[in-house]
Structure 1
């Protein structure tokens, strides 16, 4: 089984066109995609989690 694609936070911020500060505000409100912290302290977001978040945003806008 292949490992899921994990994106770096800067890649995600670029894709969603959002500043780091705005992303962390959304995260504090529980509205951001799930972050995973690696043992070295770096943050990653799975492609599946980001895609699900995008889908949820579309549903909330309708």
Structure 2
């Protein structure tokens, strides 16, 4: 990710970190499967780092 200490991540930051396309991110967002995000008045989307990290943690599965 670009700025490791930044409080908010851009869609591009998340896509690069996960190795996904922007269209995949927005597909997950539409289906409410991605990390919590907020839309700014200018239309840009930001993800708080703590929400992103909590979302990643929630994806862990116990393997048999």
Ranges in structure 1 where 5+ consecutive residues have no aligned partner: none
1:39 aligns with 2:41: yes
RMSD: 1.5
- If each structure's helix is expressed as a fraction of its own residues, which one has the higher value? 1
Retained in 1: the 8 A contact 2:11–2:25? no
State TM-score, norm by structure 2. 0.77
Larger RCO, structures 1/2 (Cα 8 Å, 6+ apart): 1
State TM-score, norm by structure 1. 0.79
After TM superposition, which residue ranges in structure 1, 4 or more long, deviate above 4 angstroms? none
What SS does structure 1 have at the residue aligned with 2:58? helix
Ranges in structure 2 where 5+ consecutive residues have no aligned partner: 1-5
Distance in structure 2 (CA, Å) of the matches to 1:24 and 1:30: 9
